[in-house]
Structure 1
Amino acid sequence: METLHDRTKKWTGSRAELGKLDIGNFATSQNAWKIRLSVLRSLSPWSSASVPAQLGAGSSLAVEDHARPFLVSPDATFSCGFLEAGENAFSFSVWYTNAADKTAVWTANPGAPVNGRGSRISFRGDGGLALADGNGTAVWESMTSGEGLAISLLDSGNLVISDPFTGGGRAVWQSFDWPTDTLVPSQPFTKETRLVAGYFNLHYDNDNVLRLLYDGPDTSSIYWPNPGYTVIGNGRTNNKSLGVAVLDDAGVFLSSDNLLAKSSDLGPGIKQWPTLDQDGNLRIYSLNESTGGWAVSWAAVQQPCSTQGLCGQNAICEYQPSLKCSCLPGYEMANPRDWRYGCKPMFSISSCIHAAPEQFKFVELQHTDFYGYDLGYNSSVSFEYCKKLCMEMCSCTAFSYRLTGTGVCYPKGSLFNGYTSPNFRGSIYIKVPYNFDTSAASFYARSTAGLACNSSDPVPVALAGSQDNKWPYFFGFAGVLGRTPEGELLEVGQLAQALRQVVASGDVVSLVDSRMQGQFNSRQALDMLRISSVCLEEKRNGPTMDEIAKALTEFDDEDEHLSTTRDCVADGN
């Protein structure tokens, strides 16, 4: 009977030493790309019969000729060449020929596409495969050399540089040894390789268990399989010396640690591949060859918020039913364009060491917890004891308390991996300065979430381009700003303070429904907030109705600038 090791033995030939893979940094994380572009198929000037499956030394392809593949496998299942990876940016990749979106299964130099002009892939005379940028600089090389070498794209999707003069055409380099974020059927995944997507990676750990890891700049943690269970509890085993996994032709992903993942459309003949996506989840995709579309047929993480690092530090992940990130009360987004930067406090403490406990208070968030980073564990204690414990610990930023027969207390040092779920029977209590207005802070954290609560609702016609667009701003803000995240009405004083904070920050874009796609005048919207905040002042200080009407009608004079403002807002999103 063929074993898993037998299946992969033929792929475990010579391998260059695998260096430490660069998983990027936050300077480029917001531009972290995955080649899954929605490029509709159209008639092509080339056919698979006109593109070879093998080339000799001296062959090359210019990026300007990206419509033509460099190689096509003998059965035309796979193609390789230049794929569009953004505006004037291309990657050298291998993809399924019949996939409408040209889904890449392997990429040279992932995360760093080359220029759309002047770039070239070359199989040089010395036997090396090199990718050159527009200025001629080699940005990636196969590091191979030898006379008479050939490059081939096999039916398996493996891009191979081989020596045809040796028995069987010995491979001196193959893409299967250097996976990026995707595997194809029969491609072995071993302890020497890993899949990488941003700060997430799939790898075999020291105990030969296949795991998903979030490896960020400030923290690193395993999130799959469930770190709260033992290896055996997760249905795995670590008593094997072998660490290898493979997806077979029927759609079964089998690992030596006893993982058995079956795609929902199990069966031979279906093109499938496991991919580590940018959200940190490992999924198996299946290709519908008649339409060129693909669908998820298996996922490692069933609850998206179980993937760590998605919302960053001091933020909460919630799935209702789409993924939503929000800042803690008293915190705001550190980078409005990328949740992975997390949230930063809106308050300052001169010195935690010298701050007296009475200078703090706690804000409760029900059904919410932060996994890990516990400063301790205390059972059978009262709520007041747990509160006092965190209050007197300088390094304690919050505490988790739950009543499960006995009181369980977890003081927290750092707040990573936050999530909210109605199934969690506990609360997290966030430490903030005593005089900090948490009602206004809760509003601000919600308003900067960047995700619409009712994203499926249609945009009102008046908001979608009407020339008379000032009144929807006014009444829309009145309806949204006047409520807490729980839907409760804010007191007038709390609302006024919240409005003043937004006006002072000038960040009105994050308050406007993203479905408007930038089709609004940001200056008018900010002026609406200013008027609203002034109207909430004490009566003797507030404006008259004539003054309000005059300010509103003045907006009409600015409408000719609307299109310019739209462009600016669109660039900022």
Structure 2
Amino acid sequence: MCVSWHNQLESEIPIKHFRGKSCKVHSFGKSACFLAVTLLLLGFPFCGVCDELPMVSVPLGFEVSGYDRSRTWVSENGVFAFGFLDYSQKDDNDDDADGFVVGIRYNLGNKVSNVAVWTVGGGLRVSQNSTLRLSMDGRLALVENPSGLIVWSSDSSSLGVQKATLLDNGNLVLMGFGDNVLWESFNSPTNTLLTGQSLHFPQNLRAPSTKSISSYYNFVIRRSGELALVWESNVTYWRSHLSSSAIVKEATFDSNGVLRLIDDTNRTVWSKSSKDFQDPSVVLRHLRIDTDGNLRIYSWDSVLHTWRVGWQAVEDQCKVFGFCGLYSLCGYNSTGPTCDCLYQDSLNLGNWPSRDGFG
């Protein structure tokens, strides 16, 4: 345990601790760590060289409320965290009355970098007086208090669930005896695909909602196997254009930064790559549909500590259908795409709300 924890420290990936104890390796070597662990197992407190150890698994009966949002649990490698997110999918001007979301985020040290990668109910907002509970029947449930209304559950009762674990790849799993996976968040994606995650018909990714409206945009895999970006379920503004009549099994996103369509013989029949494809310095990537309707591959820049775009489906953002809403025109300035109101002087539409609030 001490060696793996030491490796995490050397990786410079910060960990938001939950509870428990962990050893740090100091100049007096690993023997002190062994002693500390031994004392802890025997029930003796040991201070000085120990920190809180993040809990990666929680047992049946575990619960945490929105009043204690700092109590998250993290993956063993420290990269992902799960719990109440008081900023995910919220505009800067939102207040607490707009609610909180519960889900999985990165654990990379700052608010901007710690983007959400999966949320309960696709971004379902609940009040601070809510509880996330791993019920004794094996369901992971989000409960509104004081009514006790279950607003979301994992539908995993009677499956033999024994614990919940956040894996190193960002997958939240409910496990039974022998660590058999009985339910996983990877099977119900929201707006993001992590490396190693797949998309099967009729699954889709839905762009997060803005403050004023529900999301219009979806990234879908059709029955034919074609990938598409769709507005309002009926306007397709980007598609994968399969060149063969292959029977597509799934879409996958891998650690090298490649989005692929795989046929029933496990052959790649279509793919798009990030511009940093196979760059050994990039250890974290994800694929996400953003609020502006575009699909992008993001790579983590460990030097600048920021996410950079390695590929986007629609190169010209102004060609994303409905990007500026009904009464605005799309253009570009020095900072990127911008929306200007149509006939502002003559029609007095200067304050008309566009789709993304730029109106």
TM-score (norm 1): 0.46
Residue in structure 2 matching 1:75, options 74, 77, 102: 77
> Equivalences for 1:435-450 in 2 at 5 Å?
none
Task: Give the residue type in structure 1 aligned to 2:235.
Answer: S
Question: SS of the residue aligned with 1:125?
Answer: coil
Indicate conservation of the 8 Å contact 1:208/1:238, yes or no: no
Specify the alignment match of 2:283 in structure 1. 270
Residue in structure 2 matching 1:240, options 231, 243, 246: 246
Measure how far apart 1:260 and its partner are. 2.1
Residue in structure 1 matching 2:237, options 201, 217, 223: 223
**CA gap 1:63/1:211 in 2 versus in 1, 3 angstroms:** same
Measure how far apart 1:328 and its partner are. 5.2
Measure how far apart 1:337 and its partner are. 5.8
**CA gap 1:149/1:450 in 2 versus in 1, 3 angstroms:** closer
**CA gap 1:450/1:80 in 2 versus in 1, 3 angstroms:** closer
Measure how far apart 1:148 and its partner are. 4.8
For 1:172 and 1:46, the matched residues in 2 are separated by: 25
Q: Please tell me whether Structure 1 or Structure 2 has the larger radius of gyration of its CA atoms.
A: 1
Deviations 1:56-111 (A, max 9, x none): 21011122221121x32122221111111352232111112115222111000233
Question: SS of the residue aligned with 2:192?
Answer: coil
For 2:16 and 2:156, the matched residues in 1 are separated by: 33
Question: SS of the residue aligned with 2:193?
Answer: coil
For 1:450 and 1:83, the matched residues in 2 are separated by: 26
**CA gap 1:134/1:331 in 2 versus in 1, 3 angstroms:** farther
Specify the alignment match of 2:180 in structure 1. 170
Deviations 1:331-365 (A, max 9, x none): 564x9463139xxxxxxxxxxxxxxxxxxxxxxxx
Question: SS of the residue aligned with 1:340?
Answer: coil
For 1:340 and 1:301, the matched residues in 2 are separated by: 18
- Runs (4 or more) in structure 1 with deviation over 4 Å come to 41-49, 328-333
**CA gap 1:208/1:129 in 2 versus in 1, 3 angstroms:** same
Structure 2 unmatched ranges of 5 or more: 1-12, 23-52, 88-93, 208-214, 263-267
Specify the alignment match of 2:95 in structure 1. 87
Indicate conservation of the 8 Å contact 1:316/1:328, yes or no: no
Deviations 1:179-223 (A, max 9, x none): 00011000011213100011100111243111100117xxx3100
> Equivalences for 1:102-251 in 2 at 5 Å?
102-116=114-128, 118-135=129-146, 136-146=148-158, 147-165=160-178, 169-197=179-207, 198-215=215-232, 220-225=234-239, 231=241, 236-251=242-257
For 1:129 and 1:68, the matched residues in 2 are separated by: 16
Question: SS of the residue aligned with 2:100?
Answer: strand
For 1:194 and 1:279, the matched residues in 2 are separated by: 16
Question: SS of the residue aligned with 1:259?
Answer: strand
**CA gap 1:224/1:154 in 2 versus in 1, 3 angstroms:** same
Residue in structure 2 matching 1:311, options 321, 324, 343: 324
> Equivalences for 1:413-424 in 2 at 5 Å?
none
Specify the alignment match of 2:258 in structure 1. 252
Task: Give the residue type in structure 1 aligned to 2:258.
Answer: V
Measure how far apart 1:127 and its partner are. 0.4
Indicate conservation of the 8 Å contact 1:162/1:172, yes or no: yes
More strand by share: 2
Indicate conservation of the 8 Å contact 2:231/2:321, yes or no: yes
Indicate conservation of the 8 Å contact 2:138/2:162, yes or no: yes
Specify the alignment match of 2:272 in structure 1. 261
Specify the alignment match of 1:19 in structure 2. none
Count of matched residue pairs: 287
Indicate conservation of the 8 Å contact 1:209/1:237, yes or no: no
Aligned pair 1:322/2:324, yes or no? no
Deviations 1:428-483 (A, max 9, x none): xxxxxxxxxxxxxxxxxxxxx966xxxxxxxxxxxxxxxxxxxxxxxxxxxxxxxx
Indicate conservation of the 8 Å contact 1:75/1:155, yes or no: yes
Question: SS of the residue aligned with 1:264?
Answer: coil
Measure how far apart 1:307 and its partner are. 0.4
Deviations 1:397-427 (A, max 9, x none): xxxxxxxxxxxxxxxxxxxxxxxxxxxxxxx
For 1:305 and 1:46, the matched residues in 2 are separated by: 44
Question: SS of the residue aligned with 1:191?
Answer: coil
Measure how far apart 1:142 and its partner are. 0.5
Aligned pair 1:338/2:353, yes or no? yes
**CA gap 1:336/1:109 in 2 versus in 1, 3 angstroms:** farther
Indicate conservation of the 8 Å contact 1:72/1:80, yes or no: yes
**CA gap 1:148/1:47 in 2 versus in 1, 3 angstroms:** closer
For 2:347 and 2:269, the matched residues in 1 are separated by: 43
Task: Give the residue type in structure 1 aligned to 2:329.
Answer: I
Indicate conservation of the 8 Å contact 2:139/2:153, yes or no: yes
Deviations 1:232-260 (A, max 9, x none): xxxx3351212422221122222238432
Task: Give the residue type in structure 1 aligned to 2:174.
Answer: I
Residue in structure 2 matching 1:296, options 309, 322, 347: 309
For 2:351 and 2:276, the matched residues in 1 are separated by: 40
Task: Give the residue type in structure 1 aligned to 2:222.
Answer: D
For 1:175 and 1:191, the matched residues in 2 are separated by: 16
Residue in structure 1 matching 2:65, options 62, 70, 75: 62
The RMSD of aligned alpha carbons is 2.9
Give the share of equivalent positions with the same residue, in percent. 28
Measure how far apart 1:315 and its partner are. 4.0
Deviations 1:468-501 (A, max 9, x none): xxxxxxxxxxxxxxxxxxxxxxxxxxxxxxxxxx
Measure how far apart 1:150 and its partner are. 1.7
More helix by share: 1
**CA gap 1:450/1:314 in 2 versus in 1, 3 angstroms:** closer
Indicate conservation of the 8 Å contact 1:56/1:148, yes or no: no
Indicate conservation of the 8 Å contact 2:19/2:55, yes or no: no
**CA gap 1:261/1:332 in 2 versus in 1, 3 angstroms:** farther
For 1:44 and 1:76, the matched residues in 2 are separated by: 8
> Equivalences for 1:393-404 in 2 at 5 Å?
none
**CA gap 1:238/1:200 in 2 versus in 1, 3 angstroms:** farther
For 1:248 and 1:306, the matched residues in 2 are separated by: 27
Indicate conservation of the 8 Å contact 1:186/1:246, yes or no: yes
Task: Give the residue type in structure 2 aligned to 1:55.
Answer: V
TM-score (norm 2): 0.72
